[in-house]
Amino acid sequence: MSQVATETSRQSQETVAGRSPLDTDRVREDFPILHQQVNGHDLVYLDNAASSQKPLAVIEAMDRYYRRDHANVHRGIHELSRRATEAYDGARGTIARFFGIEDEAELIFTSGTTEAINLVARSWGDANIHEGDEILLSVLEHHSNIVPWQMLARRTGAVLRFLDIDAEGRLDLSELDDLLTERTKLVAVGHVSNALGTEHPVAGIAERARSVGAKVLVDGAQSAPHMPVNVAELGCDFFAFSGHKMCGPTGVGGLWGRRELLERMPPFLGGGDMIHEVRLEASTYAKIPARFEAGTPKIAEVIGLAAAVEYLDGIGMAAVHAHEAAITAYALDRLQEIPDMVIHGPKTAEARAGVISFTLADVHPHDLATILDGEGVAIRAGHHCTQPLMRKLGVGATARASFYLYNTEQEVDRLVDSLHSARRLFGYA
């Protein structure tokens, strides 16, 4: 654990008058990639909703594994396999505790949120969804929480229903009771919108879904990195997340599911390590979690993810969340100073996470992002894998600035200055 994480964990995680509880100068010392220049300017990295940067604790944990302990896990008798197995299996408990998971066997390692959702769609969905059943989504879901359900509906004859949004990009829950019926078998909803930053009341949605007997999957790709998450408190049945958005490596994430559901689900992939016994005629399958983790696992990536959650846990997720709220509030105030700027989503920081999508006059977001990159400011531009939402908003794309624990008010100022430069370049000033 870094010194900043250790010291911050001893401090109160309350915010005073909207100020951040974090010493971002100290936090930034843990992230070597931030200390560079891009196109002759100090880097300002505001693309965290796409992928976060990695602290030294993660880089060193993975480096140590590859330098000293690399071998395949499970069943190996030699010392390196023992070390690798101990690190890999121990990581599951570390990551499970981070999410308040009491039974670590309920945590399935995947390549990320996308695979986790597809696992549920293919395994639980194929076994439990039938013709005429309904699956409830929302119009602002990431494609990863739409396309797998479309594919399931085509396979089974199920019907997709969608919650709409209000004028500020919040779910219109006035429709929920009408959409939830005895035909509803699954509700799949994002915890936080990757495009608008809207935080959804998933615990309340889950409670209402359970009243009609529906299961609930929460896409936690944008909540797990940025706020305290306890799966029991959410009241959902499945929770999916990605490691690379929460200071961990790419290519790893997870699915939490209730044991009683996972134990009845057939395997998603077949191969080594997910079996109990193999005969030429048929096979029997391992208990969870191994049943859903076929083949050589993501050993280094899981070890890196465990280091990431230890780092975040040391800082405190309440402190991370409070910091992002303060930065987002500051950014909303500053961005509203820019003429011809349209900010999509909730108007206040209290209603959103650290994501701000915007358009500037009729400048294409890709052009805007290119100009900002020339000044060392990294943002995202495009439809953000939310094309149905973009159509709902009446735009083809937006620019998006997204914040994390290492971003500062000075970086927001750099963003605003670069946007003013873009206005001048395009003749709006």
Annotated catalytic residue, options 286, 385, 395, 425 = 385
| The predicted structure's pLDDT at residue 185 | 98
Active-site residue 236, yes or no?
no
Last residue of one domain, picked from the residues 313, 340, 371? 313
pLDDT in tens, 1-32: 444 444 433 333 333 345 788 999 999 999 99
**Do 145 and 122 fall within a single domain?**
yes
Residue 404 has pLDDT above 70, yes or no: yes
User: Burial, 260: exposed, middle or buried (Cβ in 10 Å; 0-12, 13-18, 19+)?
Assistant: exposed
**Number of structural domains found in the chain:** 2
Please indicate, yes or no, whether residues 160 and 134 belong to a single structural domain of this protein: yes
**Closest of 51, 83, 45 to residue 64, by C-alpha:** 83
**Do 271 and 339 have their domain in common?**
no
The residue behind tokens 């306890």 is 230
pLDDT at 389 over 80: yes
Claim to verify: residue 332 and residue 411 sit in the same structural domain? yes
**Torsional class of 241: left (φ above 0), alpha (ψ -120 to 50), beta (otherwise):** beta
324 — phi, psi (to 5°)? -65, -35
Could you tell me which residues are beta bridge partners of residue 138?
163
Residues 356 and 267 reside in one and the same domain: no
Q: CATH number of the domain that 339 lies in?
A: 3.90.1150.10
Could you tell me the pTM of the whole model?
Answer: 0.94
User: pLDDT confidence of 75, banded at 50, 70, 90?
Assistant: confident
CB atoms within 10 A of CB 64: 15
- 43 lies in some domain: no
* pLDDT score of 109: 98
CA–CA dist 142, 390 (Å, integer): 11
What would the pLDDT profile of 246-302 be if each residue is shown by its tens digit? Answer: 999 999 999 999 999 999 999 999 999 999 999 999 999 999 999 999 999 999 999
Are the C-beta atoms of residues 303 and 15 closer than 8 Å to each other? no
- Predicted confidence (pLDDT) per residue in 301-338, tens digit: 999 999 999 999 999 999 999 999 999 999 999 999 99
In this structure, are 277 and 361 located in the same domain? Answer: no
Torsion of Cα atoms, 109 then 113 then 117 then 123, to 10°? -20
Please tell me whether residues 381 and 295 are part of one structural domain. no
Check whether residue 290 and residue 192 sit in a common domain.
yes
Q: Which of 289, 313, 337 is the last residue in one of the domains?
A: 313
Domain assignment present for residue 40? The answer is no
Q: What percent of the chain has pLDDT over 70?
A: 96
**Segment 360-386, tens digit of pLDDT:** 999 999 999 999 999 999 999 999 999
Q: Which of the listed residues 281, 313, 345 is the one where a domain comes to its end?
A: 313
Q: Report the C-alpha gap between 214 and 135 in whole angstroms.
A: 9
Residue 227 tokens read as: 């706020």
- pLDDT tier for residue 347 given thresholds of 50, 70 and 90: confident
Q: Are residues 326 and 299 in the same domain?
A: no
Bridge partner list, 109: 254
Whether the predicted pLDDT of 173 surpasses 80: yes
Domain around 244: 60-313
| Domain contains 35 | no
Q: Is 366 part of any domain?
A: yes
Is 49 part of a structural domain of the chain? no
One domain, residues 158 and 300: yes
pLDDT at 1: 45
Residues 148, 216 within the same domain: yes
Indicate the angle between helix axes 299-315 and 79-98, nearest 10 degrees. 40
52: its two tokens: 């976060």
Q: Does 38 fall in a domain?
A: no
pLDDT band at residue 138 under the 50/70/90 scheme: very high
pLDDT value of residue 18: 58
36 located within any domain: no
